[in-house]
Amino acid sequence: MSANARILCPTLKQRLMTAEKAAELIPAGANVGMSGFTGAGYPKVVPGALAERIRKLNAREGSEPFRINVWTGASTAPELDGVLAEVDGIEMRLPFQSDPICRQRINNGTMDYVDLHLSEVSQYAWSGFLGKMDIALIEVAGIREDGSLIPSSSIGNNKTWIEQADKIILEVNSKQNIKLEGMHDVYYGTALPPDRKPIMLTDPADRIGEFYFECPPEKVIAVVESDAADRNSPFKASDETSQKIAQHILDFFEREIELGRLPKELLPIQSGVGNIPNAVLEGLDAGPFKNLTAFTEVIQDGMLKMLKSGTLSVASATAFSLSPEGIKEFDENIDLYRDKIILRQQDISNHPELARRLGIIAMNGMIECDIYGNVNSTHIMGTRMMNGIGGSGDFARNGYLSIFVSPSIAKDGAISSIVPMVSHVDHTEHDVKVIVTEQGLADLRGLSPRQRAREIINHCAHPDFRPALHDYFERALHSGRGMHTPHLLGEALSWHQRYEEEGQM
Amino acid sequence: MSANARILCPTLKQRLMTAEKAAELIPAGANVGMSGFTGAGYPKVVPGALAERIRKLNAREGSEPFRINVWTGASTAPELDGVLAEVDGIEMRLPFQSDPICRQRINNGTMDYVDLHLSEVSQYAWSGFLGKMDIALIEVAGIREDGSLIPSSSIGNNKTWIEQADKIILEVNSKQNIKLEGMHDVYYGTALPPDRKPIMLTDPADRIGEFYFECPPEKVIAVVESDAADRNSPFKASDETSQKIAQHILDFFEREIELGRLPKELLPIQSGVGNIPNAVLEGLDAGPFKNLTAFTEVIQDGMLKMLKSGTLSVASATAFSLSPEGIKEFDENIDLYRDKIILRQQDISNHPELARRLGIIAMNGMIECDIYGNVNSTHIMGTRMMNGIGGSGDFARNGYLSIFVSPSIAKDGAISSIVPMVSHVDHTEHDVKVIVTEQGLADLRGLSPRQRAREIINHCAHPDFRPALHDYFERALHSGRGMHTPHLLGEALSWHQRYEEEGQM
Ligand SMILES: CC(C)(COP(=O)(O)OP(=O)(O)OC[C@H]1O[C@@H](n2cnc3c(N)ncnc32)[C@H](O)[C@@H]1OP(=O)(O)O)[C@@H](O)C(=O)NCCC(=O)NCCS
Ligand SMILES: CC(C)(COP(=O)(O)OP(=O)(O)OC[C@H]1O[C@@H](n2cnc3c(N)ncnc32)[C@H](O)[C@@H]1OP(=O)(O)O)[C@@H](O)C(=O)NCCC(=O)NCCS
């Protein structure tokens, strides 16, 4: 079905135009709310046309640089973040990105990046201190006769952008499976305080909203057709390191169930994207588990398999993040998945109220953690942004169990992921319950900092770095300084410094 | 009315005994859940008798050291933490303390301290990984005929301790105003996931629970009488520094109201204890505000005044923290306060679901913050525990606005509270919205790290330290390292190191 055939509202059909024409409607300095979450559901043609326009404008001598502020759900893809960053078209970016060119600009100081908890973005936009949203640029799977919109492969902040923007540009993408219709749950019950009400969701399978976005046709200034697939990363078969990490987590779950501290269906799972989380999902699928649930940000390949096998009964998320094979599997068997997947806006998928109530088991990657259990998810050597905190803080703080995972070493052993003191803190000692590397698992619950240090060094550090970590800890213990969290201030960050100077921790 | 006259349940009256006898019922190694929150409602006689018993036992040659694990609501008083720490009777302490002798033991390594978010303690205890609670030792204002209990001047974790403990020791304190009866709201709707339900509270004035603790009489192994007042700190008249900080906050509120970003009744206020928060409350009371509400941990002197004047219509908390004059005022005018104050258990007063829904304005003290907006609330020079994180994380992460306050310098100017990099992180850059010192206010919302640095240095740092902070930041910017969060790793903690070595940052 062509994109054109998916535009059923006569008024909006009149606004059909090329991506180039639509891009001309975006003024310099605009705050633009774009769709897109983890490489799914982002606009695919207008950003490129806009980048081209910016490139031309900025090439003219003496012209004021043309830049916009880009707000999204989370990360997008080269066709959005990449092309706009390439032409230096982004003044400020929020709330999350993972694009190589964006990252370069953030780290060379030519782009401002505001790294936010994903659950908080829409309330920030509503409360007004981020400024007025000028334009929303949203990919949809179709436009209904009454002007309401069929969401695409992610929801993210789209509901908020559509409500908040003065003007709206829609991209209707005919590559998105039209059977996505009915899989979304758009909740219109949110409000700013003091008018907030309880969110009456008590199970990941609960539906509390609508299938469609409401959208006042008079705000829509352009409709553009597109026909390009979401650009997701190919699926890598899990490696030995990931499998070992997964096994430690599975053993931990089994022990907790035996001890009566977790139900045998576990609790709703939240899982970051990537190699290790996918290995954990594979492990769960191979194990004795049945009727698990997921309340998470993204649906990964592993979750499709689990839904098919019955390991997982339902998965609630705000976006897909499937490999090309995953997309194929999903498209071919969409009738099987339709009833078992619910896509929600990110202020609901990541909501503190729901994370706490449902008792989420949060599993996320980390860059490094220190011997006291502080986790760095965002900064390389304390200064360079990797991606951002994303939803990890929403789930780690308010969930039931927060598990952070990483290989114990990086860059072929030049870097230890367990360090004396992290170079940046995203998750404090108060929020981190379990640390896992391929070496083992450290259960930090109920431990004091000194107890945690021994647990982490002995169970998680790589043997090559273990003696140096013990040595640091012992010398800190005998330094005559405070013994609650023993540190040698002059040495605490020396591992990172050594890496920067010598290429080896 | 004597304590004896407050014990109406015949079965429990039979368990009356001396504090010494009751203390003998507590075995070595026990996990003991005690009442007490911010110097209110803690047991006042059994801990002293237990300390005396421990002192004697430990003096006997060759004896195994007698120690227990002490779990409370939050901080208590010298009669509990002080006496037990004095005799080295505490193996492990959670979740919060502020006692000088405890602090000394924590920092010399002779006591383990587990510093937890106050909203999470009861779910930790329920989930079982902290171990079995052997004994609950709870102060109450009275025992009713059916064995149910009239809570005292704090609730804290008492509901959970009474439910979780195998055995219960009650202290009936006749000094507590018997008219406290009816001021509490004990909620019995909590559960572990997957059985949690929405908490149907949408206004700080809402009542969702019972006046009394349910308590199975067969679990009560001792009832002890006491007649001692809560030991709270005297009220200090606010100084110039506090008044300046308060004024910056009041100006900020007025601007936010003007801009339509806060309602004119503000949003429910949470306020840490101490000099500065009390000055803010005084300022609010002197200003144009009417019908404000508080949803907080503790009722301070300032809140009584505001309730009396009508500035505040209702205050919800888990404990009182009044000066001796405050207690007198409260006791003399209790009929006026009875309907305007609600005491709840701390898993409700600090609940993430409620903090988010109500949109709390959280105002808490800090030890230091860095130029990027990371806040240290707990550690002196990175190693020594001050008090603990308390509820500050519950409110800062999930509330609507998080404000952290501190004088810009400490120790007569030897220390700058604004540093290049904090020596410990309790509240990350993602959670800290506003920083205030007597120098001014930094509004960090929507700013990138580099923008935050300029805002904090220019508005909050003391003029004596401002040039050195600018210098650090500028050199970090030109270091050739990452420019998202520019740092000089070799110098980042040098201010703290210099203070440790030379007594001056
Ligand atoms: C932390 C995070 C970057 C780890 O990602 P990952 O893909 O699992 O990790 P990898 O092991 O592949 O490492 C990614 C890169 O960081 C590098 N790295 C890993 N640990 C490192 C360390 N301690 N120091 C320096 N670099 C490190 C790797 O070498 C790799 O670099 P490369 O791309 O140049 O090869 C990722 O989980 C993340 O962005 N988390 C924050 C957001 C989040 O948690 N979202 C979850 C909610 S969906
Ligand atoms: C951070 C905290 C300790 C500040 O307390 P306060 O009473 O407002 O602060 P003060 O300015 O009186 O400082 C307390 C002590 O710390 C010292 N101090 C303050 N800033 C310091 C710094 N940057 N470096 C070293 N010491 C510092 C002060 O000199 C003082 O020491 P002293 O007692 O030896 O004189 C306190 O707010 C706290 O414990 N917060 C964490 C818990 C919390 O937020 N609870 C709120 C929920 S109710």
Sketch the domain layout of chain B as residue ranges. Answer: 10-226, 240-502
Beta-strand pair B368-370/B375-376? antiparallel
Q: Locate B293 and state its tokens.
A: 């509400």
Cis peptide before B463 (omega within 30 of 0): no
Find the CB nearest B107 among A94, A477, A484: A484
Smallest CA–CA distance, residue A386 to chain B, in Å, is 10
Residue with tokens 């996990």: B31
Q: Tens digit of pLDDT for each residue in A163-190?
A: 999 999 999 999 999 999 999 999 999 9
Residue B52: other Cβ atoms inside 10 A:
15
**ipTM of the complex, rounded to two decimals:** 0.98
Instruction: Please give the average per-residue pLDDT across B428-454, as a whole number.
Output: 98
Q: Tens digit of pLDDT for each residue in A319-350?
A: 999 999 999 999 999 999 999 999 999 999 99
Q: Which of residues 145-174 of A touch B (CB under 8 A)?
A: none
Assign B237 a pLDDT band (cuts: 50, 70, 90): confident
Closest-CA residue to A152 (of A122, A175, A120, A118): A175
Instruction: Please give the average per-residue pLDDT across A52-70, as a whole number.
Output: 93
Supply the DSSP symbol for A80.
Answer: I
Q: Please give the positions of A annotated as active site.
A: 297
A429 in the Ramachandran plot: left (φ > 0), alpha (ψ -120 to 50) or beta? alpha
Assign B231 a pLDDT band (cuts: 50, 70, 90): confident
Instruction: Please give the average per-residue pLDDT across A479-499, as a whole number.
Output: 97
- Measured from the Cα of B296, ligand 2's closest atom is 48
Supply the DSSP symbol for A79.
Answer: I
Assign A191 a pLDDT band (cuts: 50, 70, 90): very high
Closest-CA residue to A420 (of A458, A457, A365): A457
The Cα A12–Cα A3 span in angstroms is 13
* A172, β-bridge pairs: A140, A225
Mention every residue, 6+ apart, whose C-beta is less than 8 A from residue B238. Answer: B246, B275, B276, B278, B279, B282
Chain B residues with beta carbon closer than 8 angstroms to that of A114: 446-448
Radius of gyration of chain A (CA): 23
Nearest CA in chain B to A115: B430
In this prediction the pTM is: 0.98
CB of A409 closer than 6 angstroms to any ligand 1 atom: no
The Cα A87–Cα A114 span in angstroms is 20
The Cα B410–Cα A311 span in angstroms is 57
- Measured from the Cα of A277, ligand 1's closest atom is 8
A371 in the Ramachandran plot: left (φ > 0), alpha (ψ -120 to 50) or beta? alpha
Q: Tens digit of pLDDT for each residue in B34-88?
A: 999 999 999 999 999 999 999 999 999 888 899 999 999 999 999 999 999 999 9
A266 in the Ramachandran plot: left (φ > 0), alpha (ψ -120 to 50) or beta? left
pLDDT score of B148: 98
The Cα B45–Cα B62 span in angstroms is 28
- Cα dihedral B341→B347→B353→B357 (10° resolution): 10
Note the ligand closest to the C-alpha atom of A503.
1
Q: Tens digit of pLDDT for each residue in B136-177?
A: 999 999 999 999 999 999 999 999 999 999 999 999 999 999
Q: Tens digit of pLDDT for each residue in B86-107?
A: 999 999 999 999 999 999 999 9
Assign B314 a pLDDT band (cuts: 50, 70, 90): very high
Assign A21 a pLDDT band (cuts: 50, 70, 90): very high
Nearest CA in chain A to B203: A194
Spacing of C-alpha B430 from chain mean position? 22
A300 in the Ramachandran plot: left (φ > 0), alpha (ψ -120 to 50) or beta? beta
The Cα B222–Cα A406 span in angstroms is 51
Closest-CA residue to A456 (of A423, A411, A422): A422
Residue with tokens 């911010």: B38
Find the CB nearest A446 among B114, B445, B481: B114
Cα(A411) to centroid of ligand 1, in Å?
Answer: 11
pLDDT score of A244: 96
A426 close to A393: Cβ distance less than 8 angstroms: yes
3-state secondary structure (DSSP) of residue A101: helix
Averaged pLDDT of chain A: 96
What CATH number does the domain located at A10-226 have? Answer: 3.40.1080.10
Residue with tokens 């980042």: B492
A377 close to A422: Cβ distance less than 8 angstroms: no
Closest-CA residue to A231 (of A4, A3, A36, A46): A36
Note the ligand closest to the C-alpha atom of B355.
2
Q: Locate B378 and state its tokens.
A: 């707990």
Give percent of chain A above pLDDT 90.
94
C-alpha pair distances (Å), B87 with each of A344, B100, B384: 56, 14, 21
3-state secondary structure (DSSP) of residue A306: helix
Q: Tens digit of pLDDT for each residue in A340-378?
A: 999 999 999 999 999 999 999 999 999 999 999 999 999
Beta-strand pair B31-34/A440-443? unpaired
Q: Tens digit of pLDDT for each residue in A383-412?
A: 999 999 999 999 999 999 999 999 999 999
B416 close to B405: Cβ distance less than 8 angstroms: no
Q: Locate B27 and state its tokens.
A: 């075995």
Chain B residues with beta carbon closer than 8 angstroms to that of A91: none
pLDDT higher than 80, residue A5 = yes
The Cα B426–Cα B431 span in angstroms is 10
Residue A152: other Cβ atoms inside 10 A:
32
pLDDT higher than 80, residue B233 = no
Least confident of A59-63, A147-151, A386-390, B327-331: A59-63
Cα(B365) to centroid of ligand 2, in Å?
Answer: 7
CB of A377 closer than 6 angstroms to any ligand 1 atom: yes
Strand spans (E) along B248-360: 269-271, 292-295, 298-300, 312-317, 319-321, 341-344
Q: Locate B486 and state its tokens.
A: 């520019």
Topology alike, domains A10-226 and A240-502 = yes
Strand spans (E) along A6-117: 31-34, 68-71, 90-94, 112-113
Binding residues of A: 367, 387, 391, 411
pLDDT score of A237: 80
Instruction: Please give the average per-residue pLDDT across B374-396, as a whole number.
Output: 98
Q: Give, rounded to a whole angstrom, the gap between the first and last alpha carbons of chain B.
A: 56
Q: Which residue owns the Cα nearest ligand 2 atom 25?
A: B380
Note the ligand closest to the C-alpha atom of A390.
1
Q: Tens digit of pLDDT for each residue in A253-267?
A: 999 999 999 999 999
pLDDT score of B479: 96
Beta-strand pair B90-94/B112-113? parallel
Closest-CA residue to A390 (of A303, A270, A269, A245): A270
CB of B364 closer than 6 angstroms to any ligand 2 atom: yes
Q: Note the helical H segments in A170-274.
A: 240-258
- DSSP letter string, B78-98: IIIIIHHHHTT-EEEEES---
Q: Which CATH number fits the domain B240-502, given the four candidates 3.40.50.970, 3.40.1080.20, 3.20.20.70, 3.40.50.300? A: 3.40.1080.20
CB of A385 closer than 6 angstroms to any ligand 1 atom: no
Q: Which of residues 346-365 of A touch B (CB under 8 A)?
A: 351-353, 355-359
pLDDT score of A238: 84
CB of A410 closer than 6 angstroms to any ligand 1 atom: yes
Task: Inform me whether the C-beta atom of residue B383 falls under 8 Å from chain A C-beta atoms.
Answer: yes
Mention every residue, 6+ apart, whose C-beta is less than 8 A from residue B288. Answer: none
Order of strands across the sheet that contains A375-376: A375-376, A368-370, A418-419
The Cα A99–Cα A77 span in angstroms is 7
- Measured from the Cα of B377, ligand 2's closest atom is 1
* B355, β-bridge pairs: none
The Cα B361–Cα B118 span in angstroms is 17
The Cα B486–Cα B488 span in angstroms is 7
pLDDT score of A386: 98
Instruction: Please give the average per-residue pLDDT across A261-282, as a whole number.
Output: 92
Task: Inform me whether the C-beta atom of residue A480 falls under 8 Å from chain B C-beta atoms.
Answer: no
The Cα A136–Cα A97 span in angstroms is 18
3-state secondary structure (DSSP) of residue A169: strand
The Cα A294–Cα A309 span in angstroms is 14
The Cα A40–Cα A357 span in angstroms is 28
**Cα diameter, chain B:** 77
Contact A492 B382 (CB under 8 A): yes
3-state secondary structure (DSSP) of residue B371: coil
C-alpha pair distances (Å), B259 with each of A165, B107, B328, B441, B475: 19, 47, 41, 17, 37
Angle, alpha carbons B317-B318-B323 (nearest 5°): 80
CB of B422 closer than 6 angstroms to any ligand 2 atom: no
Smallest CA–CA distance, residue B499 to chain A, in Å, is 11
CB of B368 closer than 6 angstroms to any ligand 2 atom: yes
- Measured from the Cα of B96, ligand 2's closest atom is 42
Q: Tens digit of pLDDT for each residue in A193-251?
A: 999 999 999 999 999 999 999 999 999 999 999 999 998 777 778 899 999 999 999 99
Task: Inform me whether the C-beta atom of residue A474 falls under 8 Å from chain B C-beta atoms.
Answer: no
H or E element, residue B331: helix B324-332
